[in-house]
């Protein structure tokens, strides 16, 4: 009897392994800055910038991901470099479809397979039309089935938070185009707020500050590098000025300039303040008992913005709630999505919420007006 049960378990294990190889379960974080694909068995199987380059004449694809990003600001007029997502939602449908399809093909290129099962994350601030565009772009990539979950939920699970318990958990996911803030308990969202502020906002602010205060113009990639190398929240860390190349607007010729970290921090201040104020609004909307839980469970930061030096401390001081940065915050959303889909028990806990969101997208697809309450 025992050997028969062991044999049955072995057969189930082999079948499960075969199914996951041929038709994998993958989570997708379709972010404004980066697209990340996660498989529970293999981990992160693709992570590249959300950038696509087309020929201007016929819209044929020139490059996708890393190869397209290096062309941004450098490409000749015959090549259009587009970022198909802005503010966490699709602004260029053809570009988004190309990005998703190419990334999935790259991620699963070594596997003989049928269509994968996909779980995709969506921002809370997306309008009905924007959400419909996300749904259509993901489905156009040809998955076997697609499930949608709120980005904040996936971020919390990817950060290792137990969202199934009665104790409140709070997550702030700072992506390239949006910041998702949520308090979760019992596999549901207690309070959530989404604002269209993220890494791109910081980059634009740094570029504008240099133009206005220093009369020095830099490209998008240089502004991003300044944010990464000299950005901060709260008190300046005391680093040396960072030298960058750009255009001296007084002399109207190329030049180099040493940029003090205080200028970068001042440029980022307003966006950081908006994120903190959004966190306040969520704390005010949280029931007192769950808010009390947060004094012990704290706030967890995910997304690329979580890596800004001093940000966790600044949020902790201004909200009076302990704040920490998740391990590998850039990968939390995709990892959480993959964990939901690959874990039957977790998917069962999340299914009422995920099914409702998925039905809402399907109603948008056929033009119905079913509502979704966050």
pLDDT along the chain (374 residues), means of 10: 53 47 76 89 89 93 94 90 85 88 84 74 72 76 78 93 92 94 89 92 97 95 96 95 96 95 97 96 94 96 96 96 96 90 73 51 45 40
Is residue 208 in a domain?
Answer: yes
Number of domains within the chain = 3
pLDDT at residue 23, rounded to an integer:
62
Please tell me whether residues 192 and 216 are part of one structural domain: no
pTM of the model: 0.84
Which tokens go with 16? Answer: 């499960």
Is residue 61 in a domain?
Answer: no
pLDDT at residue 175, rounded to an integer:
93
Q: What does DSSP assign to residue 305?
A: G
Please tell me whether residues 229 and 361 are part of one structural domain: no
What's the CATH code of the domain at 144? Answer: 3.30.420.40
Please tell me whether residues 295 and 313 are part of one structural domain: yes
Of 348, 329, 160, 29, the C-alpha closest to 169 is: 160
What's the CATH code of the domain at 231? Answer: 3.90.640.10
Its domain, for residue 292, covers 156-197+270-329
Is residue 325 in a domain?
Answer: yes
pLDDT at residue 373, rounded to an integer:
39
Please tell me whether residues 279 and 295 are part of one structural domain: yes
Separation of alpha carbons 220 and 180, rounded Å: 24
Separation of alpha carbons 102 and 140, rounded Å: 12
Please tell me whether residues 185 and 162 are part of one structural domain: yes
Residues ≥6 apart with Cβ < 8 Å to 288: none
pLDDT at residue 113, rounded to an integer:
58
Is residue 14 in a domain?
Answer: no
Separation of alpha carbons 60 and 95, rounded Å: 11
23-68: pLDDT as tens digits: 678 888 988 899 999 887 888 889 999 999 999 999 999 999 999 9
pLDDT at residue 246, rounded to an integer:
96
Is residue 372 in a domain?
Answer: no
Please tell me whether residues 212 and 348 are part of one structural domain: no
Is residue 235 in a domain?
Answer: yes
pLDDT at residue 350, rounded to an integer:
65
């Amino acid at each position: 009897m025992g050997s028969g049960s062991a044999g049955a378990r072995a057969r189930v294990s082999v079948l499960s392994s075969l199914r996951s190889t041929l038709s994998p379960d993958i989570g997708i974080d379709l972010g404004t800055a980066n697209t990340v694909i996660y498989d529970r068995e293999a981990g992160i199987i693709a992570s590249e910038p959300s950038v696509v380059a087309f020929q201007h004449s016929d819209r044929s694809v020139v490059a996708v991901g890393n190869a397209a990003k290096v062309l941004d600001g450098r490409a000749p007029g015959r090549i259009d470099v587009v970022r198909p997502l802005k503010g966490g939602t699709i602004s260029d449908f053809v570009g988004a479809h190309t990005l998703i399809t190419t990334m999935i093909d790259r991620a699963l290129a070594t596997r003989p397979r049928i269509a994968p099962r996909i779980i995709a994350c969506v921002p809370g601030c997306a309008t009905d039309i924007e959400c419909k565009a996300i749904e259509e772009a993901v489905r156009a990539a040809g998955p076997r089935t697609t499930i949608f979950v709120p980005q904040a939920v996936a971020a919390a699970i990817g950060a290792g938070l137990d969202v199934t318990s009665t104790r409140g958990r709070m997550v702030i996911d700072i992506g390239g185009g949006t910041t998702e803030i949520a308090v979760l308990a019992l596999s549901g969202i207690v309070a959530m707020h989404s604002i269209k502020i993220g890494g791109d906002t910081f980059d634009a602010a740094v570029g504008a500050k240099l133009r206005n205060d220093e009369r020095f113009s830099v490209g998008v990639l240089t502004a991003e590098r300044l944010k990464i190398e000299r950005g901060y929240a709260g008190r300046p860390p005391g680093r040396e000025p960072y030298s960058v190349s750009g255009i001296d607007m007084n002399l109207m010729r190329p030049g180099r300039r040493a940029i003090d970290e205080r200028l970068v921090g001042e440029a980022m201040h307003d966006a950081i303040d908006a994120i903190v104020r959004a966190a306040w609004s969520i704390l005010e909307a949280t029931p007192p008992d769950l808010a009390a839980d947060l004094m012990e469970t704290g706030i967890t930061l995910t997304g690329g913005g979580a890596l800004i030096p001093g940000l966790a401390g600044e949020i902790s001081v201004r909200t009076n709630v302990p704040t920490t940065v998740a391990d590998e915050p850039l990968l939390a959303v995709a990892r959480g999505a993959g964990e939901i889909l690959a874990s039957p028990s977790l998917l069962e806990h999340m299914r009422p919420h995920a099914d409702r969101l998925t039905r809402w997208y399907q109603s948008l697809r056929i033009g119905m007006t079913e509502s979704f309450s966050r």
